[in-house]
A and B are shown apart, each in its own frame.
Chain A
Amino acid sequence: MKDKTVEHGFPHQPSALGYSPFLRLMAIGTRSGAIKLYGAPGVEFMGLHEENNTVMQIHFIPDQCQLVALLDDNSLHLWSLKQHGGASELREEHRFTLKGPPGSPPSATQVTAVLPHSSREVLYLGTESGNIFVVELPSFRVLEDRTITPEAVLQRIPEDNCNRRSCELVEALREHPKNPDQILIGYSRALIVLWDLQNNKAIQHFLGSQQLENLYWQRDGSKFISCHYDGSYTQWPVSSDSRQAEPLENTVPYGPFPCKAISKIYWQTTKNGLPYIIFQGGMPRASYGDRHSISVIHGSQQTAFDFTSRVIDFFIIFSSDPAAEFDDPSALVVLAEEELVVIDLKSAGWPAVHPPYLASLHCSAITCSHHVSNIPLKLWERIISAGSKQNIHYSSMPWPIDGGTNIAPDPPQRDLLLTGHEDGTVRFWDASGVCLHLLYKLSTVRVFLTDADPNDNMNTLGEDEWPPLRKVGTFDPYSDDPRLGIQKIYLCKYSGYLAVAGTAGQVLVMELNDEDAEHVVDHAEADLLQDQEGYRWKGHEKLKTRDGPVRFEAGFQPFVLVQCQPPAVVTSLALHSEWRLVAFGTSHGFGLFDHQQKRLVFVKCTLHPSDQLALEGPLSRVKSLKKSLRQSFRRIRRSRVSSRKRRGGGGTASEVQEANAKFDQDALQEMELAPVQRKIEARSAEDSFTGFVRTLYFADTFLRDSSRHCPSLWAGTNGGTVYAFCLRVPPAERRMDEPVRAEQAKEIQLMHRAPVVGILVLDGRSTPLPEPLEVAHDLSKSPDMQGSHQLLVVSEEQFKVFTLPKVSSKLKLKLTALEGCRVRKVTVANFGSCKTDDYSENDLAVLTNLGDIQIISLPFLKLQIRYPCIRKEDVSGIASCVFTKYGQGFYLISPSEFERFSLSTKWLVEPRCIVDMPEVTSNNHVHNKSGTENAARRSRESGKSPDDCGEDERKSGRLMEHALLNDESE
């Protein structure tokens, strides 16, 4: 049994970005201290800093499988990719915090700029005090004699234009592209010094007029560019003859009115002579100051890419061959707070590249998910083809970040994960392997009339619009109408029928069509209250439908719409593609619709007459809306705080942070003071929401007598009631002529009245009945209709097996009474043996409200195994959990990330990849590489992992180095 295997989606709260052109790997750091590496699809590594502090900066060591991360506690961490057991692993090797002389202020050692030197031996650390410390790698020993102090710098500069204050806060450190002995030091107050490392002297200095933000060398080292707080950038010539240089050019690209800072700039040369100037920010302060933009200027072409979330950082992929004459940039990679956007700079129009991973699952909030295992190839191809028609605006460029090699075996089967979103879309993800990849996006919005006209595109700007903004990315947290939200999804993989149901009681049945089509959607209404009187629905109104034919693009096209009345959230959904029936339930009742004849078969009200709450509308929704509003405000406040840089000696930002921390603490205390108590009360029939339909299930079983089996529909409610309906479905040849009939055959009231979360019928061999059409496609044995069937009812508290057709209790497992936990999710999972192919068994996979996963055997209900999976405080994680049919599962660890776990030894999907050191003409490397390989080989032979032996060495090494440091500082 393997627990968590891989995280899919986009990292929550990214805070830093790094790229190694040498390894062609990208690294993303997060606010929770995680560090994630991505290369070619399937090449993924993850590490977590023990401190869980925000990762501020990530720098790869040139030409090494190593990187340095700077955290917000001012600690530096060295991470290495080491090969182990045939695959690479990311490990933390060393950690280090710069210590100043005793009594010095913390700002003396507060690291603001990091420069890993191309010699791979030292790290230059610029600090808030203006000192630049030199640290030896990988030991992190401070080379005190090589520290570049502001005093030393000022000695070399005429005193009339500079003073001690000019050298406060090192903003940027850049190594000369051609001469490793020279580095460019940029201080915050616009003093830039070209420093000679060999002779410890300033070669040249440059004095800007505006506060400095960043620096960038031109490839040949003859010029560099600086960008500034006022939205300007300046080119400076480098020559050895003049001590103080004058700027070549000073531009405010979005002037003349005051502009925001340009925080980072690239200057990329090309063969045709026209450089690419790429910079972040610089927008006119008054009108566009709130935009998150990155501008690309290439000759007369200029585009300001407009992101929907804050830009964390960006980099350019360009020719890394040191012999090449030009940069020749190929792609712009932007890490925004909520998504990764890659722009193809080679193709005309600079189209976006479709990322194979890091998908923004939450581009609209996820409202539900559904997993379908083992998709038939035909359906798979049709979905891909429908999706490819949606992706024509993407660049055809191959994914530019392609380091490392994926050595994981091919996924054993094709799996689909469907996510329903708040904006009425369903996204189809390829969940077969490590990379969760978007295949196709389905929108249900077209069926309805909404305030927002889909044809009105706010982003089409005229040719002469200034600034030339272009919206990029898919993250769009704003939903036009929350009623469109998708709540339940059911896909039949054999027939291609898809049913989706939403927040306003809408149920859509769809069919896969490979062509665009225009047709009318049949519309029916299901009055679930029937003749119940005196009730008033105070919730939202039902969605308005579009009259006349609607044009649908290729893919899943709706042909039937059923709207529940009152339009409450659809809480359960079942589709039987063979019988052509769809069943749906809300908090008021459930109904059955014949989508072949397009006729409502019956409705059943499950409401208890005294249950007023269910009728007054979604009260809980009001609550959650309030909560989400509050959260979004909090998010805005937080992002404002964090986006403010450490300007002005870092005083204001830290004050705000402190105030925030105090506020949070106060709020926390307030919460703790409130007495937390729980009412102990037995459930009664009068409790609210007892009529809430939790589960619907189709089964061909013995409902009436033991000689004849018939189609049946089962429904379970929140109040512990199970209804069973006997269905009469006409044979295929008369399917259109005779109506489908339904008759209530049974009603079971569980005395413990806990919500029924699952219903299942076991056949004569105690095997769960197969899915519709599964037998017809020869993918399952036909169910045993000789032996007697059994009914399994899973409530939140108990598992109970009943006999059929006479319902009498046979067996039960009490969960809550004994363990105090309740069932949140339950599914039948098939566990195959990894030793023999021909053995597999069906068990129940259960997720409890404590986040534990339990495997319970069928049909004897014996607990097989239990292990903690999700933190019990993580309510949304538990609510989002979805199991696969073969013992894997997914749950949301953040709004944008799915954690994948596996309960099965046979079906494991986890990254397994190798990063080889590209050949470099350095003896040192070759030596290193063979060293690790030898270690790996040795370990394989001896059965002992190399990190075991390495660990001790490292530990003693660290001890030594601490001793040294202590000696030095005293």
Chain B
Amino acid sequence: MNRSFNKSQTLRYLECSAVEVKSKFGAEFRRFSLDRYKPGKFEDFYKLILHIHHIANLEVMIGYADVHGDLLPINNDDNFFKAVSSAHPLLRVFIQRQDEVDYSNFGTNTLSRKKKALVTLRNDNLRRRPHINISMPHDFRPVSSIIDVDILPETHRRVRLYRHGCEKPLGFYIRDGTSVRVTPHGLEKVPGIFISRMVPGGLAESTGLLAVNDEVLEVNGIEVAGKTLDQVTDMMIANSHNLIITVKPANQRNNIIRSSRMSGSSGQSTDSTASHHSLSTSHVLQNFHPDEMESDEEADIVIEGGLEPQHIPKLHSLTSSSLSRINGSSLSHRLQRDLVLNNNSGRESNGNIHKLLSSLKTDPRHSLVIPRGGIEEDGTVITL
């Protein structure tokens, strides 16, 4: 433990490496400081919080106010590090009992009212909704992810697009083309499948993980070599609910540097070349769990009952609403399970969630991702 903190110490200078922390639980305040550059592990921080507030036997949720005044969660090493390093000048920490957590407060301007109007102005769609829900990361619905970074060559990228019945189109086109392979006999031209076009505003484009002229190598783990364009099209459509494409990006400069080479702290993947690129900060590293592919997320809908066949219009409205309801619940169920898997699979896997958060916040397009239906009916489906 190279970290030291002093309960009674007060703020000295900004230049100094210490960050002043003001922690609030109920009506009680505690003040202490942390090392800005070596804040330590979240686990220890959590213990510390419990200790100084004398609430050792409580399950609590820790949040902090970021520079914009938004309430954001601290629940892992990465967002803890982010919280500490971005504190200016003071890190304000809020503690809530786990069972009293009001998720709706997260991500909103709980602390500075002046920005609230701005948020609503940004997107007219949001105005109809009572409030925007942001919750703990495990309640976020992922739209895309890069997976299997540890097992793929660095020149390849395996992208997972989550559609989950969202109304946004997948939105890309593929074409035939020629790819150059290195073989023992020298360079060889072989036929390949390439992304030919992105639909503006589509899921594929908005993730920023796929681009025109990327070569498609696999679809859901099955190599496309030797398959025709139509076959690959059919495979992608058949897997559209959970599409995993392995591509060789046309632009090889944004490749992910393997976590083994990362220095343990985040932010290293945002190098200078990537910063002007849209995919700069939206990476979520996550191990790919093969059992997830098997999971039957596409549960078919069965409607029982003596519906009078003659009343067609009625039947239709009924069908569509019940359909989306089922979509919604199965979706949130799945999400929760996904998160559990994540948490169990180790700390390094869900490293950059806070970055996803911040990138999502700054990119207004992301607010379009979630289907309207999902928001209206289920509080556990969280949208931005």
Contacts and interface: CB of A to CB of B under 8 A. Distances in A.
A602 interface: yes
Given A744-B307, A744-B309, A685 B175 contact: no
Contact of A675 (B169, B175, B304): B175
A680 B173 contact: yes
A678 B163 contact: no
B238 A817 contact: yes
Contact of B301 (A608, A676, A725, A749): A749
Interface string A796-810: 011010000001110
Contacts of B234: 797, 816, 820-822, 849
Nearest to A532: B312
Contact of B313 (A532, A754, A849): A532
B307 A816 contact: no
Interface stretch (B32-40, B82-90, B316-324, B359-367): B316-324
A962 to B, nearest CB: 35
Given A747-B307, A807-B302, A680 B316 contact: no
A745 B235 contact: no
Contacts of B176: 676
A742 to B, nearest CB: 7
Interface string B32-62: 0000000000000000000000000000000
B269 interface: no
B231 A751 contact: no
Interface in B224-243: 227-241
Nearest to B220: A817
A809 B238 contact: no
B174 interface: yes
Interface string A600-619: 00111101110000000000
A751 B310 contact: no
Contact of B303 (A679, A681, A682, A747): A747
B308 to A, nearest CB: 7
A752 B238 contact: yes
Contact of A820 (B170, B227, B296, B316): B227
Among A681, A725, A748, A750: residue with most chain B CB under 10 A: A681
A602 B298 CA distance: 32
Nearest to A683: B237
B238 A745 contact: no
Contact of A678 (B171, B173, B306): B173
B13 to A, nearest CB: 56
B217 to A, nearest CB: 14
Contact of A817 (B235, B299, B308, B313): B235
B300 A604 contact: no
A752 B222 contact: no
A850 B231 contact: yes
B312 A681 contact: no
Contacts of B231: 819-821, 850
B131 interface: no
B180 to A, nearest CB: 20
A96 to B, nearest CB: 40
Interface in B217-263: 220, 222, 227-241
B75 interface: no
A681 B306 contact: no
Interface string A279-297: 0000000000000000000
Interface in A548-607: 602-605, 607
A310 interface: no
B309 A742 contact: yes
Given A608-B316, A725-B309, A820 B241 contact: no
Interface string B345-383: 000000000000000000000000000000000000000
A676 B220 contact: no
B312 A530 contact: yes
A683 B240 contact: yes
A300 interface: no
Given A677-B173, A745-B306, A809-B299, A609 B220 contact: no
A547 interface: no
Interface in A800-834: 800, 807-809, 814, 816-822
B227 to A, nearest CB: 5
A958 interface: no
Contact of A531 (B196, B312, B316): B312
B319 A749 contact: yes
Interface of A: 530-532, 602-605, 607-609, 675-683, 685, 725, 742-752, 754, 797-798, 800, 807-809, 814, 816-822, 849-850, 872
Given A816-B238, A820-B235, 9 more contacts: A530-B310, A607-B312, A676-B175, A681-B170, A682-B237, A683-B237, A743-B308, A747-B303, A820-B231
29 contacts: A530-B312, A604-B312, A677-B197, A678-B173, A678-B174, A678-B233, A680-B204, A681-B169, A682-B169, A682-B170, A682-B237, A682-B241, A745-B304, A746-B304, A746-B305, A749-B303, A751-B299, A808-B302, A809-B299, A809-B300, A814-B238, A817-B220, A817-B235, A818-B222, A819-B235, A820-B228, A820-B232, A821-B234, A822-B234
By Cβ-Cβ distance, the 8 closest A-B pairs, closest first, are A820-B231, A682-B240, A751-B298, A816-B238, A678-B233, A817-B238, A677-B175, A820-B235
